[in-house]
Amino acid sequence: MSYELLAGTAAPVRVWTDVDGIEAQALGQLRNIGGLPWVRGVAVMPDVHFGKGATVGSVIAMRQAVSPAAVGVDIGCGMSAVRTSLTVADLPDNLAGLRGAIEDAVPVGFARHDDPVDVRRVPGLEQDGWDDFWRRFGDLDPAVSNLRTRARSQLGTLGGGNHFIEVCVEQDGPDAGRVWLMLHSGSRNIGKELAERHMAVARDLPHNADLPDRDLAVFVAGTPEMDAYRRDLWWAQEYARRNRAVMLALLCGVVRDRFPGVRFDEPVSCHHNYVAEETHDGMEVLVTRKGAIRAGRGDLGIIPGSMGTGSFIVRGRGNPDAYCSASHGAGRKMSRTKAKKTFSTADLAAQTAGVECRKDAGVVDEIPGAYKDIADVMRRQRDLVEVVAHLKQVVCVKG
C-alpha cells in the first residue's frame, strides 16, 4: 500500500504523500472535506497543496452532491499534447523565432483574438458540434448572457498564471529526440464567471449553514440549483476542451508553416479540474478532480512539472483506491507572493537555462523553485500511472 490514511475523518482520506509534509492549512481542508456527510472518500495526490475551499490535488467522491469549490474556478482546466514527426535535429539553434510565431498565433495573458477564430478554416480542427455548442450558450445562467462575444474571442487563447504552451523533446527510449507540442489552459473568463456565480449561490443554501468552511458548500441532487450548476458545468468543461483543441490546431499550424511535411500523431488530452459521473465500489458517485487527472487502466494522461523541469506522458493503472486518478503536475510548494519575495530574475534565468522563454519579473512566480520536485511526485504515484514518455521543454510560452 503506497498511501497513508488521514486520521480523524468520517470518510476515508487516502494520501499519496507524507502526511507530515502537507501544510497545515491543506490538512485542515482535507479533514473538513472528509467530514462532509455526502463524501464517500477522498484521494489526495502527491502534488497536494492549499486551495480555495478544497485542496488542489484532491479527488472527492460524493453521493448525490457536488461542491463547486472542489472543482475550482477554472472549470475544465487541463492539458493537451501531440507528438510530431520532427526530431531535435530539425529544430534551429535559435528558437526565439519559433517562440515569437507561437505568441503571434495564440494570444496570451489577458489578450484575446481580434476576431473570433473561424473554426471552419483551421486545418486539423474537429468540426462536429460547434453550432449546437454555441446554441447552448443561451441556456447558461442569465448572469453571463452578456459574455458571449468575449467567450467567442477568447476561444483559442492561453490565459496567464500557470498556463503555458511548450515545444518539448522526448528524453528516453527508442523515440528519444522526438519533438512534442504541449499546452495547458482551461475555460478562460467564462468558466471563472460561471464558477463564482454558482459558488455564491451554494454558500447561501440553508443545508450549508453549519459547514466548517462555507467555501465547501454543496449542491444536492434533485434541486434546481444542482440542475443549473450541472448544466453550466458540462458546458464550461466542453468550452475548455474545445479551447485547447483550437489552440493545439493553431500551434500545429505554426509548426507546419515552419517545417513543411511535418506529421502529427493522435493528440493526448485530459481535464484536471472537472466533475465526472462514475461508479466506484458499486456505487454511482460524482467525482470531482481538482488538480488531478483520470488514470483509469489504459487512460493516457499528461503530468507537467514546471517551466524548467519537463513533463510526463503517462498511462493509468486504474487504481481503485485513488478513484482511478493521478496528480495533475508537480504542485506548488510556495505561494506566488512568497515566490516573488524569494527568487529574482537571475534565479529564473538560471533555473530555465536552455529553455527559450520569458525570464522577466512578470513570471518569477512561475519559477521551477516554487514547485515541488516532479521526480519525487512521480515516484510517489508509481501505483497510479506508468510513464510512457519523459519530455523536456526547449520552448515555453507564458502569459
Q: Give catalytic residue positions.
A: 328
Q: Are 188 and 152 in contact (CB under 8 A)?
A: no
Give ∠ CA 36-42-44 in degrees, rounded to 5: 130
Q: Count the neighbouring beta carbons within 10 Å of the beta carbon of residue 35.
A: 16
Assign residue 134 a region (left: φ > 0; alpha: ψ between -120 and 50; beta: otherwise): alpha
Nearest to 387 by CA among 182, 173, 244: 173
Q: How far is CA 311 from CA 33, 153, 182, in A?
A: 30, 30, 9
Nearest to 369 by CA among 395, 354, 350: 350
Residue with cell 521526480: 375
| Nine-digit cell string for 224 | 434546481
Burial class (CB in 10 A: 0-12, 13-18, 19+), 172: exposed
Paired residues of 178 in beta bridges: 87
DSSP 377-388: HHHHTTTTEEEE
Following CA atoms 44, 49, 50, 53 in sequence, which dihedral angle do they give, to the nearest 10 degrees?
-30
